[in-house]
A and B are shown apart, each in its own frame.
Chain A
Amino acid sequence: MNSKYNISSYIHIKNNQVSLNGSVIFIEEHSIFTNFIKAAYKAQNTKYPKFFKMDNLSKLAFLAADILLKKQNLNVENNNNIALVFSNKASSLDTDISHQKAIQHKDNYFPSPAVFVYTLPNICLGEISIKYKLYTENSFFIFEHFNAEHLIANSNSLLDTNKAESVLCGWVELEGENYEAFLYLVSKEGTLEHNKQNIITLYNT
């Protein structure tokens, strides 16, 4: 069955590089994640100091979404009807471990509120929603592997029921130095049909 929805734009952040719609827009080789994501953020010239307060998963998700949404020329003062459907495997484990270390010993028990607030994966959706003033549906799913079928079912449902005019969806995985973001925007716009084969092809690009 042909889909009535299309993929209008997509982004990858992995292996120390950022690519938008298949074109590499930033590379920082031989760099650990924290240095890479900071350099990638600064290269975008986004003035948003809260970025530096985010945990690593939120930095990854926020930057991927920000680069992609910036190209949509949105007016952030309008209510942009863009839903968010994200997924990954490690949930917020990277930050959960940081929090656990802070509460490991009774005689050195100083949990950080700024770390604790990121011990849920869907916090990154909130960060994106705050920046772009999205008052839309959002959800974060945990899967063993990238799940194109679920992304299709969920985003098409949101579009079919007029819960959103477009959906930003994909996979944002981070555990230590292993990270990967793949997000795409689906709506009636665009030319690439929103189907499993196309999503998997883009994901593996």
Chain B
Amino acid sequence: MEALKQELKENIIEQLNLEDMTVEDIADDDMLFGDGLALDSIDALELIVMLDKNYGIKLTDPKEGRAIFESINTMAAYITEHRSK
């Protein structure tokens, strides 16, 4: 799980072009949206694509994303349970 969290942080920084951020800047329980990393709606769509491309998870209900993408902790837990690759 720790390796997955590290991988998620690296991918989020790279895929979402968070230029001035490092892995150390993102705590496992930081809010990804809102007051945390302040990601936007396009970032949310990129995260959905990332789940599909990297882990074979297709989100059919966008409302699911709100809980899944709350933090690195919630993302890692969901991916661990649902990944197909």
Interface residues of A (CB under 8 A from B): 49, 52-53, 110-114, 117
Contact = CB atoms under 8 A, between A and B. Distances in A.
B19 A52 contact: yes
B52 A53 contact: no
Contacts of B64: none
Contacts, number: 27
Contacts of B42: 53, 113-114, 117
Interface string B41-60: 01101100100110000000
A143 B53 CA distance: 38
B52 A112 contact: no
Interface of B: 16-20, 42-43, 45-46, 49, 52-53
B53 A113 contact: no
B49 A49 contact: no
A73 to B, nearest CB: 26
A38 to B, nearest CB: 8
Nearest to A54: B17
B16 to A, nearest CB: 7
Contact of B20 (A49, A114, A117): A49
A114 B19 CA distance: 15
B18 A112 contact: no
B19 A110 contact: no
Contacts of A117: 42
Contacts of B52: 110
B17 A112 contact: no
Contact of A113 (B17, B18, B20, B46): B46
A113 B45 contact: yes
A186 to B, nearest CB: 33
B53 A110 contact: yes
Given A113-B45, A113-B46, A49 B53 contact: no
Contact of B19 (A49, A111, A113): A49
A112 B20 contact: no
B2 to A, nearest CB: 27
B46 A114 contact: yes
A113 to B, nearest CB: 4
